[in-house]
Amino acid sequence: MAWPRLDYDYDRRKREILGRLEELCPNMRFDAVTACGVEDAEKVLERIGEYDGVVLYLLGSGCPVPLLVLEKCDKPTILVDEQYCGSGTFALAYGWMMGKRLPAIGIASSRFQDVVDKVKLISVVKRLRDSRIVVVTPKGERGYVVDRRSELLYGSGSRRFGGSGKTYDIAAQIERVKNLFGIEVIKLGYRDVKRYFDEASVEEAKPIADGWMRGALRVVEPSREEVVRSARLYLGLKKMIHDHNADAITIDCYRRFEELPAYPCLAFFQLNNDGVTAVCEADLSSTITQLLIRYLTEELTGEPRPGFVNDPVADFSKGWIIYCHCTAPSKVFGPNGASNPYIIRSHAESRAGAAIQSLMPTGEPVTAVQIHFMKDPPLMVVHGGRSVCNVDSEDGCRTKLAAEARVETIFSNWNRFGGWIAPAHWHRVVVYGDWRKHLKDLARLMGMDFLEEDV
């Protein structure tokens, strides 16, 4: 005799569960295997290499299979308790599992959608692994913006940044990203950008620029000609992304705007509104983080929300953290959502080019996250807040979204691990909504440490 009861129809329930998973996870394929003993566990482990992840659905208690599979499986694994069926095994396995560095998470809930949301995280991990990123930085230059900023802070030749006396050049970062996440990074140069810009049609760019200008609350500094150049760059980058079958692009732009055919701020604004990931400053950490957010929100809501990469500023007197940058989306809930108001300005620091001041929604929960992939093991940091206002100031970057948060605690934890790998250590990626629990689960499934900066 065993739970749930003597006459329980296991086969019928298995078919019901599989049918609901296939219905609610249409982009995933499930291959159901029944395992009740040690020999079954060994057969499951032999086949695991074929799959992107494993769902251990507990339909009975007292079975050794979950512990055996969990201990040896290196794929993202979801342990699910079928309430009143596998609860005894779940109670024993879950605590043991959580005490180890296993790529596994668990769920025990009477709400089936909670199970579905956990299972879909396997798809998020797979999509990130299959991603391609274009990074644009000067040809022949191994180091890039992170190294130049460190020299500005510590002097030429300094080895202080990175916390371990290392210089993390672009080649090392590309290799690390491939080894950790499976992501392919395609390195291009400014000449490539210029070629795509030159090939982009001016006549096609004009209506895009006019649409941006009509949609803006106002256009302050930039001329129409400057905005048209930005639209032409948008068309060029869009074609570049398409030609390289890429999911994201990041450009080494800061302090090098004069080497680009136009400021990329408006192009990035539109690409992110389109549902394409575009990030400034050749910041691979923020690009990977924003891709993860895009896939997570699309899997769980059906709509990919863009991240807002930013330089956060503290205001202890108000309990605010102010997220600042000169490029930002206006469709923070995804391409099919409403656009919030925006103003077209010049780039704040240089007072040149064309940039965006996005007036983002207030009274909403927001989550800030960053992945530091050069740490070993990699680290994901997260904090939360609630948007309260858009700060209008000529200082700092153009877009300045203020959020109420445990700001003193956040900044106490900001650089706990030491060193400086700018801009990744200052940057955070903000997304609308409270995604902390799902991000914590993803960090575990991907073998990352997890730090809640506001706890």
Distance CA 1, CA 282 (A): 61
Asked if the model's pLDDT at residue 389 lies above 80, the reply is yes
Half-sphere exposure of 197 (CA within 13 A, CB side): 18
- Do 454 and 405 touch, CB atoms closer than 8 A? yes
Per DSSP, the three-state class of 280 is strand
Which residue type does 435 have? Answer: W
- Give the pLDDT confidence of 281-324 residue by residue, as tens digits: 999 999 999 999 999 999 999 999 999 999 999 999 999 999 99
The predicted structure's pLDDT at residue 298: 98
Is residue 234 scored above 50 in pLDDT?
A: yes
Angle at 46 between CA 44 and CA 52, to 5 degrees: 75
Contacts of 235 (CB under 8 A, 6+ apart): 200, 201, 204, 205, 208
The letter for the amino acid at 177 is V
**According to the model, what pLDDT value does residue 65 have?**
83
Pairwise CA distance, residues 315 & 322, whole Å: 8
Helical H segments across 200-306, by residue range: 202-215, 224-243, 265-274, 284-301
Coil, helix or strand at residue 43 = helix
> What integer is the mean pLDDT of 172-186?
95
Closest CA to 283 of 153, 175, 429, 165: 429
User: Which residues, listed in sequence order, are joined to residue 312 by a DSSP beta bridge?
Assistant: 323
**Percent residues over pLDDT 70 in the chain:** 91
Q: Closest Cα to residue 168, out of 443, 376, 405, 448?
A: 376
Hey, how many other C-beta atoms are within 10 angstroms of the C-beta on 67? 16
Mean pLDDT of 211-230: 98
Distance CA 76, CA 51 (A): 10
Contact 336, 383 (CB under 8 A): no
pLDDT band at 420 (very low <50, low <70, confident <90, very high): low
| Whole-number Å distance between alpha carbons of 32 and 59 | 13
pLDDT for position 351: 92
Q: Which sign does the torsion angle of CA 197, 203, 207, 213 carry?
A: positive
**Average confidence (pLDDT) over 55-72:** 87
Per the prediction, the chain carries an average pLDDT of 90
Q: Which of 234, 180, 169 is nearest to 206 (CA)?
A: 234
Contacts of 60 (CB under 8 A, 6+ apart): 2, 3, 10, 36, 85, 86, 89
Q: From residue 8, how far is each of 3, 5, 12, 90, 336 by CA, in Å?
A: 9, 6, 9, 19, 45
Contact 419, 348 (CB under 8 A): no
Confidence of residue 47 (pLDDT cuts 50, 70, 90): confident
Give the pTM. 0.92
| Residue pair 392/299 in contact by the 8 Å Cβ criterion | no
Alpha helices for 302-377 (secondary structure H): none
Helix (H) or strand (E) holding 137: none
User: Predicted confidence band at 159 (pLDDT cuts at 50, 70, 90)?
Assistant: very low
Q: CA–CA separation, 177 vs 287, rounded Å?
A: 11
H or E element at residue 159:
none
- Can you read off the two tokens belonging to residue 125? 């991990």
Instruction: Please tell me the distance from the alpha carbon of residue 319 to that of residue 255, in angstroms, as a whole number.
Output: 32
Predicted confidence band at 419 (pLDDT cuts at 50, 70, 90)? low
Tokens of 349: 């620091």
Residue with tokens 């997220």: 323
